[in-house]
Amino acid sequence: MQAPDLSVRIGRLTLKNPVIVASGTFGFGQEFEDFLDPSRLGAIITKGISLNPMAGNPPPRIFETEGGIINSIGLQNPGLQDFVKDKLPYYRKVKSHLVVNFFGNTSEEYVLLAGRLDEIPGISALEMNISCPNIKREGIIFGSNPRMAYRLVRRVRKATGLTLLVKLSPNVTDIASMAKAVEEGGADGVSLVNTFRAMAVNIHSKKPELGNIVGGLSGPAIKPIALRMVWEASQAVKIPVIGMGGIMKAEDAIEFILVGASAVQIGSANLVNPTTAVEVIDGIEKYLGNHRIGRVAQLVGLFRPGL
Amino acid sequence: MGLLSTGIVIRNQEIRPDYSLLEIHCPPIATGIKPGQFIMLKVSNDGHPFLRRPFSVYKRYPDDHPRRTKKGRLSILYKIVGKGTRKMAALEKGQGVEMVGPLGNGFTLPPDPPSTNIVLVGGGLGIVSLYPLAEALSAGRLFVFIGGKTRNDILCSADFERLNSNIFISTEDGSLGFKGRVVDLFSFHKKRFKKSQVNYLYACGPMGMLKDLARTLRSEPFVNQGSLESRMGCGFGACWGCAVKTKDPKTPYQRVCKEGPVFGLEDIDWEQCQV
């Protein structure tokens, strides 16, 4: 039997397989060159980039919980200029799609950044972060208000011709209306979920376990909730949904694909098992072979909710 | 590829209350690791705890080691404090253990003039990561300050005796040696080290100890390096979870796992560090 076709289309891109490494968990790529061949990945998403450098949040920035981690890195990044100068050259050697994750503190910053990134060769797509729980300003409002999200995406859409993904926060009551809003704004795809706002307290010192008090929970602990949200979002929109939340192995990824995700992102698992992404690719291929499914695209949404 | 390896447990036994020694056969790390570097060890394959744990290597027997039976082995001296180390204590002979490493920037060894004084200051388990450094030194007079809460927490003193060093011990409860903290004991002795001499100081221990030491060392004639502890996510620079505040104006938060774990004590912004 012929090897299954793992390729998927997102916007104007064709990914060689549906496995993408998530923003903030794959550094700037180079950190993983000892562990895997990045050219095997469907796409690589950068750590989030802002117009100006950001110092990040005070430590402690990470706390382990049952089946997950709470982080409050605070979007530390070198800013656009140093990203282009110091980090981008590495990605150019990698034969995979580069997706730059970016965020602004204001709509103007989002638009400006999208426009600048649009002019830089070597970038396949943009992923707009309107959902990070670790910054307090307008970002959080964009991520939880469908009207604001719609307006912002529409403005950014006009600033770039690149494939545009929007990454959603799970910290909302109605994920379907958020997904619909960014689709109407002109997004080519929607990524979800980002981390859940969370905290932990040290009962001996009576202090928070994180310097920022509140952070974002990720890892297998969130997978069932993430899966439900990806299912709801998939039913609401026609654009591709990229699902993530606690994927540790191929079986987890297949669940997301079955409920409607065209592609998946691997996040926290990269930190624990840095080869997870390639293992997931191999596992999906094997599953398709075993189930005699020729193309992974045929698996998308095959979930059968009826009895 | 390069940094991933699976070792085999040779033995894992309690050596005194709360402390155990894990010996692993893993030639790539036993041969490749340098003093001050560390490894991320997966203490269990069932996903609990979620993260790997950072450890420094205590003794190592590289491929060219004269003790043939020990070749390719390394040991980790650890204290059973939480769910990760409790699971680690359950590892049995013959089991495979996944490791990432060697990681981080280790200690820079001092140049070799025989008149050099080399001071090691270790608090609690911190002394363990200074032992490979002491083993690697080829010249100089060695002064080792070992501190712990009680005499049960004074580790490696017999090892340092074999290296012909001058050993100073402190315990907080006074059950062995000087009663008090190791930094106070060091302060008491620091006049021995003159500006006219070449003095190197290496330290490892809790952040509170390193902070006190940094203060003590101000205007003292030491070239110093401290190995920092931090909660870690990945250990190899991807997540930025282990960051520590430094005095670098361009990148104030630096990664303990990548730019560190060894830093100049004067380069850390101690006022902004939770200790």
State how far the Cα of B224 lies from the Cα of B120, in Å rounded to an integer. 10
Nearest residue in B to A23, CA atom: B239
Nearest residue in B to A35, CA atom: B1
B1 CB near a chain A CB, below 8 Å? yes
Residues of chain A in contact with residue B271, where contact means CB-CB under 8 angstroms, are: none
- Does A252 map to a domain? yes
pLDDT tens by residue, A240-298: 999 999 999 999 999 999 999 999 999 999 999 999 999 999 999 999 999 999 999 99
For an interface test with A, the pick among B41, B239, B275 (most A C-beta atoms closer than 10 Å) comes out as B239
Does residue A35 carry a pLDDT above 80?
yes
- Does A102 map to a domain? yes
Cα Rg of chain A (Å, integer): 18
Predicted pLDDT at B198: 83
List the single residue in A32, A67, A275 with the smallest CB-CB distance to B50: A67
State how far the Cα of B159 lies from the Cα of B127, in Å rounded to an integer. 11
% of residues, chain A, pLDDT over 70: 96
Predicted pLDDT at A138: 52
pLDDT tens by residue, A40-78: 999 999 999 999 999 999 999 999 999 999 999 999 999
- Does A212 map to a domain? no
B46 CB near a chain A CB, below 8 Å? no
Predicted pLDDT at A307: 65
Nearest residue in B to A24, CA atom: B239
> Any idea what the CATH number is for the domain that residue A285 is in?
3.20.20.70
Predicted pLDDT at B113: 73
State how far the Cα of B167 lies from the Cα of B20, in Å rounded to an integer. 23
Strand partners, A38: none
Domain B4-103, CATH class in plain words: mainly beta
Classify residue A5 as exposed, middle or buried by CB count within 10 Å of its CB (0-12, 13-18, 19+). Answer: middle
Q: What backbone torsions phi and psi does residue A257 show, to the nearest 5 degrees? A: -65, -40
Sign of the four-CA dihedral A220, A221, A224, A227 = negative
Do the beta carbons of residue B168 and residue B178 sit within 8 Å? Answer: yes
Q: How far is CA A192 from CA A21, A235, B137, in A?
A: 13, 14, 53
Across the beta sheet with A196-198, what order do the strands follow? A62-65, A68-71, A215-218, A196-198
Identify the CATH number of the domain defined by range B117-272. 3.40.50.80
- Cβ of A58 within 8 Å of Cβ of B241? The answer is no
Does residue A134 carry a pLDDT above 80?
no
- Cβ of A60 within 8 Å of Cβ of B253? The answer is no
- Cβ of B243 within 8 Å of Cβ of A274? The answer is no
Average pLDDT, chain B: 94
- Cβ of B3 within 8 Å of Cβ of A35? The answer is yes
Q: Which domain holds residue A181?
A: 8-56+75-196+218-299
Residues of chain B in contact with residue A62, where contact means CB-CB under 8 angstroms, are: 231-233, 239, 241-242
Strand partners, A125: A99, A163
So which residues of A are the catalytic ones? Answer: 132
% of residues, chain B, pLDDT over 90: 82
- Does A211 map to a domain? no
- Cβ of B242 within 8 Å of Cβ of A32? The answer is no
β-strand pairing of A215-218 with A68-71: antiparallel
- Does A48 map to a domain? yes
The set of residues, in sequence order, having a beta carbon less than 8 Å from that of A36 and lying 6+ positions away, is A274, A275, A277, A278, B1
Predicted pLDDT at B66: 87
Predicted pLDDT at B164: 87
List the single residue in A68, A78, A271 with the smallest CB-CB distance to B238: A271
Question: Which B residues, 77 through 116, put their C-beta within 8 Å of a C-beta on chain A?
Answer: 100
The ipTM assigned to this model is: 0.94
- Cβ of B274 within 8 Å of Cβ of A211? The answer is yes
- Cβ of B231 within 8 Å of Cβ of A275? The answer is no
Do the beta carbons of residue B169 and residue B146 sit within 8 Å? Answer: yes
List the single residue in B47, B243, B252 with the smallest CB-CB distance to A220: B47
Closest-CA residue to A229 (of A190, A273, A198):
A190
Does residue A116 carry a pLDDT above 60?
yes
Residues of chain B in contact with residue A63, where contact means CB-CB under 8 angstroms, are: 231
Which range is least confidently modeled, A113-117, A119-123, B61-65?
A: B61-65
Confidence of residue B249 (pLDDT cuts 50, 70, 90): very high
pLDDT tens by residue, B5-18: 999 999 999 999 99
Confidence of residue B220 (pLDDT cuts 50, 70, 90): confident
- Number of helices (H), then strands (E), belonging to chain B: the values are 6, 16
The total number of structural domains in chain A stands at 1
Q: Where in chain B is the domain with CATH 2.40.30.10?
A: 4-103
Residues of chain B in contact with residue A24, where contact means CB-CB under 8 angstroms, are: 239
Confidence of residue B115 (pLDDT cuts 50, 70, 90): confident
Q: Where in chain B is the domain with CATH 3.40.50.80?
A: 117-272
Encoded tokens for A153? 């995406």
Global pTM value: 0.95
Does residue B209 carry a pLDDT above 90?
yes
